[in-house]
């Protein structure tokens, strides 16, 4: 049997990087897309070297996952490198959006006094939500999925709750969860499951950019029954186990992977 592959959008950091390491350790070859300048590229190179040191393949692309031409080029390279039916897991873990009020407070000044623009809102929903659909379409068309594959998309509690300045990303998360439900029913006949993964508050580069992140961390620490925040490795370990063949009946869910943070009072 061919070695299974995972494709990770957002491979160079946070959940994506932890998943790359965990799946490589579990025997997967890793394809990844990321969008980074020099410092991020150094991290991506180090990650690829770690994966190769584990005896696995690492095939990374530093491109905008939401750009149609770059996606077409990347898909051509993936189709050439991956045997048909070898893609067992597709993880959408992109963090790139505008964090801004829709209607700023009357007291706001400078850049904070400007509400989100159409371009910013469209871009955020496109990158963090709609791109899942276009990649899934192409991966199916290329025949890369197997008959027991998994699609995971990283959502957040912003899909159903409001947080100051998080509105555009909230909208993207609501769209992402709707897309996952739709893919779950459309792809079930092909043996592909689709689930949203709702991680707890996790210290990553993306978290630091959320306005008031300190308050989010404080609240999460107060609620998480484990007395600590979620780590990317906590989530990656669950994803590896959820990718086992016996979980194929688990489809179309929003799975909380937060150590019990969300259900704790």
Ligand X SMILES: NC(=O)c1ccc[n+]([C@@H]2O[C@H](COP(=O)([O-])OP(=O)(O)OC[C@H]3O[C@@H](n4cnc5c(N)ncnc54)[C@H](O)[C@@H]3O)[C@@H](O)[C@H]2O)c1
Residue 91 engages ligand X in binding (rule: CB under 6 A): no
Site string for ligand X, 150-179 (x = CB under 6 A): ----x-x-----------------------
Chain positions 221 to 260 lying near ligand X, rule: CB under 6 A, are none
- Which residues make beta-bridge pairs with 149? 192
- Tokens 């068309």 belong to residue: 141
Position among 201, 236, 243, 257 found at the interface with ligand X (CB under 6 A): 201
Q: Is residue 201 within 8 Å of residue 234, measured between CB atoms? A: no
Does 125 contact ligand X by CB under 6 A?
no
Q: Is 104 helix (H, G, I), strand (E, B) or coil?
A: coil
Please list, in sequence order, all residues whose beta carbon lies within 8 angstroms of the beta carbon of residue 163, skipping any fewer than 6 positions away.
170, 210, 212, 216
54-83 footprint of ligand X as x/- string (CB under 6 A):
----------xxx-----------------
Q: SS3 for 24?
A: helix
In angstroms, rounded to a whole number, what is the distance separating the alpha carbons of residues 137 and 28? 22
Q: Judged by CB under 6 A, which of 48, 94, 192, 194 binds ligand X? A: 94
Q: Output the six-digit token pair for 145.
A: 């999925």
| Residue 132 binds to ligand X (criterion: CB under 6 A) | no
Stretch that binds ligand X, among 23-31, 50-58, 93-101, 159-167 (CB under 6 A): 93-101
Q: How far apart are CA 260 and CA 215, in angstroms?
A: 19
User: At residue 196, what are phi and psi to the nearest 5 degrees?
Assistant: -90, 145
* Per-position x/- string for 2-31, each x denoting binding to ligand X as judged by CB under 6 A, each - no binding: --------xxxxxxx---------------
Q: How many residues bind ligand X (CB under 6 A)?
A: 30
- Applying CB under 6 A, which residues contact ligand X? 10-16, 33-36, 40, 64-66, 93-96, 127-128, 154, 156, 199, 201-202, 204-207
């Amino acid at each position: 049997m061919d070695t299974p592959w995972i494709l990770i959008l957002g491979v160079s950091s946070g959940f994506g990087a932890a998943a790359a390491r965990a799946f490589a350790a579990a025997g997967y070859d890793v394809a990844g897309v990321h969008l980074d300048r020099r410092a991020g590229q150094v991290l991506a190179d180090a990650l690829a070297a770690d994966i190769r040191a584990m005896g696995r393949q690492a095939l990374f692309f530093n491109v905008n996952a939401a750009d149609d031409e770059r996606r077409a080029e990347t898909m051509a390279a993936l189709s050439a490198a991956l045997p048909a039916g070898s893609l067992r897991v597709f993880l959408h873990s992109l963090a790139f959006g505008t964090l801004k009020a829709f209607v700023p407070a009357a007291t706001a000044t400078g850049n904070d006094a400007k509400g989100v623009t159409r371009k910013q809102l469209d871009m955020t929903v496109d990158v963090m939500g709609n791109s899942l659909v276009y990649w899934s379409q192409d991966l199916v068309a290329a025949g890369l999925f197997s008959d027991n594959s998994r699609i995971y998309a990283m959502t957040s509690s912003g899909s159903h709750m409001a947080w100051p300045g998080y509105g555009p990303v909230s909208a993207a998360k609501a769209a992402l969860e709707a897309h996952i439900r739709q893919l779950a029913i459309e792809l079930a006949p092909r043996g592909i499951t689709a689930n949203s993964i709702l991680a707890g508050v996790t210290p990553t580069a993306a978290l630091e950019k959320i306005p008031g992140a300190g308050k989010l961390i404080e609240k999460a620490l107060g609620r998480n029954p484990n007395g600590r925040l979620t780590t990317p490795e906590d989530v990656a370990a669950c994803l590896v186990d959820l990718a086992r063949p016996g979980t194929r009946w688990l489809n179309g869910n929003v799975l909380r992977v937060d150590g019990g943070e969300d259900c704790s009072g």
